[in-house]
């Protein structure tokens, strides 16, 4: 009688192999793939959006059970990165960490491939960034009033740097100059960090930088912080007067920082990301990181943030009009 052992062995082996294959399949790369959320920063490294994005992206990813990665897509005052996100699928996987320059672009550029208001939806207001007027130490001025007097006496002699055409740092200074009746040459760079470095090196005489760009140079003789640009003194630089109280009444500029998604992103997805972002922003450790960056955390509903964007749209239109700036 022939043995049944080979048949039994074969059947048992095949069964075991099938179970093993199923187990391996459960841990295969396809099943192990995690959702990836792309946070596009429309400026280079050193820009305020870049440093803020990297201060909370890992925690946001964890809160969403995903991997949140930061991608720098700099160019044309933030419009290159914004255009990329406007064209992305409206599934919540591609966001832009925008700021005041996002709405500024709608008034500054004659031609845009997207509408800053209609082609995006506000997801989460992350924080508020203050700005600082700073000048090269070798310029020899110690106050906003002195700076205005010196530049007015020498029209066209001095330069100012920014993070690029159309950036908030560009328009903040352009509107300052227009209000004060001053003439300076604009030197655009790729980021706030580069703009500040030009002032530190003495090649450029002035910059209006986000607080993070200059907060570490308060005791550096190469640069002089003259005033904060907000309506009130900065909580991070309380001894620094505002521009309005130190030489140019009526001037004020600061910026929101927030996550935007392509228009048409499902409301449930917007709400999910908003809840996760607010949870992360409530963490004392994240708040401390933001404090070191000179950014005040903001926690709003998506609806509240959307209202802020509409209000800011009108405000930035006024800033661009006051500056007289326009880019083809």
Instruction: Name residue 185's beta-bridge partners.
Output: 159
What pLDDT score was predicted for residue 166?
79
What pLDDT score was predicted for residue 25?
47
What pLDDT score was predicted for residue 201?
97
Would you say the C-alpha torsion 179, 184, 151, 226 has a positive or negative sign?
positive
What pLDDT score was predicted for residue 27?
43
Which helix (H) or strand (E) covers residue 168, if one does?
Answer: helix 168-180
Which of 175, 183, 182, 218 is CA-nearest to residue 200? 218
At 83, list the tokens. Answer: 């255009």
Q: What is the pTM of this model?
A: 0.81
What pLDDT score was predicted for residue 217?
96
What pLDDT score was predicted for residue 141?
96
Question: Mean pLDDT across the chain, nearest whole number?
Answer: 89
What pLDDT score was predicted for residue 310?
96
What pLDDT score was predicted for residue 30?
42
What is the pLDDT tens value at each position of the chain, 328 positions in all? 444 444 444 445 445 444 444 444 444 444 456 899 999 999 888 778 999 999 999 999 999 999 999 999 988 888 999 999 999 999 999 999 999 999 999 999 988 999 999 999 999 999 999 999 999 999 999 999 999 999 999 999 999 999 888 788 999 999 999 999 999 999 999 888 899 999 999 999 999 998 888 989 999 999 999 999 998 999 889 999 999 999 899 999 999 999 999 999 999 999 999 999 999 999 999 999 998 888 999 999 999 999 999 999 999 998 898 888 888 7
Which of 34, 173, 9, 42 is CA-nearest to residue 93? 34
What pLDDT score was predicted for residue 327?
84
What pLDDT score was predicted for residue 6?
47
Cα–Cα distance between 169 and 101 in angstroms, integer?
9
């Amino acid at each position: 009688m022939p043995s049944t052992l080979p048949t039994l062995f074969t059947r048992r082996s095949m069964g075991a192999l099938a179970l093993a294959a199923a187990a391996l399949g459960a841990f295969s790369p396809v099943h192990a793939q995690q959702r990836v959320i792309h946070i596009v920063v429309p400026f280079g490294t050193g820009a305020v959006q870049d440093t803020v994005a990297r201060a909370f992206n890992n925690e946001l990813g964890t809160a969403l059970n995903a991997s949140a990665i930061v991608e720098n897509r700099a160019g044309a005052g933030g419009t290159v990165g914004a255009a990329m996100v406007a064209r992305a699928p409206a599934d919540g996987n591609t966001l832009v960490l925008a700021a005041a320059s996002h709405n500024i672009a709608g008034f500054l550029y004659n031609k845009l491939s997207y509408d800053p208001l209609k082609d995006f939806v506000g997801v989460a207001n992350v924080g508020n960034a203050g700005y600082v007027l700073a000048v090269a130490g070798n310029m020899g001025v110690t106050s906003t009033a002195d700076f205005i007097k010196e530049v007015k006496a020498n029209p066209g002699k001095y330069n100012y740097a920014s993070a690029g055409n159309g950036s908030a740092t560009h328009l903040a200074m352009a509107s300052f100059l227009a209000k004060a009746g001053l003439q300076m040459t604009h030197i655009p760079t790729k980021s706030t960090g580069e703009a500040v470095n030009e002032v530190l090196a003495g090649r450029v005489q002035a910059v209006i930088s986000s607080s993070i760009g200059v907060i570490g140079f308060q005791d550096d003789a190469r640069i002089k912080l003259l005033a904060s640009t907000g309506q009130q003194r900065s909580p991070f630089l309380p001894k620094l007067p505002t521009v309005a109280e130190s030489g140019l009444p009526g001037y004020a500029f600061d910026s929101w920082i927030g996550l935007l998604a392509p228009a048409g992103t499902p409301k449930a997805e917007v709400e999910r990301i908003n809840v996760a972002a607010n949870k992360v922003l409530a963490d004392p450790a994240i708040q401390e990181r933001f404090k070191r960056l000179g950014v005040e955390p903001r926690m709003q509903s998506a609806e509240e943030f959307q209202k802020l964007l509409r209000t800011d749209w009108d405000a930035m239109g006024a800033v661009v009009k006051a500056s007289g700036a326009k880019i083809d």
